[in-house]
Amino acid sequence: MSIFPSKYFRLFACCVPVKGARRSLIADLQRHHYQFIPNALYEILTQQCEYQPFHEIAAKFSEEDQGTLASYFQMLTENEFGFWIAQAEKGFFPDLELTWDYPAKITNLILEVDPTSGSNVNYSSLFEQIDLLGTKDVLIQYTSGPPDDFVEIYRFFQNKLLKNIEIRCLFDETKPEDYWEKFLDTYRRVNQLTVYGAPFSRDKKLNLEPPTILTYKKEKLIKKWNSSSRAIAFTVNIKSFSEAQTHNLFFNRKLAIDSKGFMKNFLSQETHYGNINEISVAEVIQSPAYQEYWDVDKNKIEICKDCEFRFFCVDALPPVKKNASLWQRPFSCEYDPYSAKWPNELTFP
């Protein structure tokens, strides 16, 4: 690859730079990954490349730094983050439109099921309501044992518009080895089954249609979501990246219903907004109290607003309101954007 001194450098529209306090990154929204870059390179890409050809930018640096600068742009080109254009072509490549909307009042339902709780949740009414609200993704979490009674729930959304159904449950050593695979073969609309408390950890893609994933995990199934996500848990795509510009990825248009039928923002929330047997989902989700966190994007949260991961981080605990325009980050987050380190990391990556 050679540098074109008289040309301008342009990032592909799907490769969006994000600045952090200590380092920046380029989010490749088409190929679902990101590349760390120095903040100095972020400034060049966002403030100079639009207006100056490469030779004018390079002229501001010493001979030694020009070599470093050239290596950065070689990396960007070789990794297909950008390309070279002539001045006359500058107007041909608009930025990506990051406005977000979705044709559903609730995008995701998290449903807790505990057959031992003695509750009498009206699942027929629930799935009729979320179908009318446009919900396509459902996570069903069993807190006691395997999903033996799943047939009682499954029949209620057989003809609904649900697209993705995931089940999380507990391992049962009394079940035969092929129990879990037969379960997925029976309930073909389930896309993923994760079994917690297993004696081993393993992912298995089953030869079913549609494609189905069976995952075994050694760790316990807990109601409280872990918000100290490492980078491996980040989801990089245009849908979530666009949504995160003006919304909170974890709370926006999400609904959680615990095993007793109480509607919440998340399962471990102590506050609830009514019971599914007594009040409609539509009425609950329209209330300002329920939507309090929906539009609290990371740019409105202290520390988070300085984090390079802020547009694809799903923090599972609510921020704390500091004043009319600023929120505090949940204490559970372990990442420090000012040192660019996770706990126990001794050196800057």
| Mean pLDDT across 235-240 | 93
Q: Which of 173-177, 229-233, 246-250, 312-316 has the lowest mean pLDDT?
A: 229-233
E strand residue ranges, 258-310: 263-264
Q: Which long-range CB contacts under 8 A does 71-76 form with residues at least 24 apart?
A: 72/37, 72/38, 72/41, 73/3, 73/9, 74/1, 74/3, 76/9, 76/11, 76/26
H or E stretch at 130: helix 123-132
Predicted confidence (pLDDT) at residue 230 exceeds the cutoff of 50:
no
pLDDT band (50, 70, 90) for residue 191: very high
The model carries a pTM of 0.89
Q: How many CB atoms are closer than 10 A to CB 85?
A: 17
pLDDT at 323: 85
The type of residue at 323 is: N
pLDDT band (50, 70, 90) for residue 316: confident
Nearest Cα to Cα of residue 225 among 314, 142, 290, 298: 314
pLDDT at 110: 96
User: Hey, what are 137's tokens?
Assistant: 């993704």
Phi, psi of 304 (to 5 degrees): -55, -35
Q: How far apart are CA 306 and CA 116, in angstroms?
A: 45
Looking up tokens 């609200």, which residue turns up? 133
Over residues 3-51, the pLDDT tens digits come to 667 899 999 999 999 999 999 999 999 999 999 999 999 999 999 999 9
Predicted confidence (pLDDT) at residue 156 exceeds the cutoff of 90:
no
Predicted confidence (pLDDT) at residue 80 exceeds the cutoff of 80:
yes
pLDDT at 1: 42
Q: How far apart are CA 257 and CA 117, in angstroms?
A: 14
| Mean pLDDT across 201-209 | 91
Over residues 250-282, the pLDDT tens digits come to 999 999 999 999 999 999 999 999 999 999 999
Q: Is the dihedral of CA 45, 49, 54, 59 positive or negative?
A: negative
The type of residue at 223 is: K
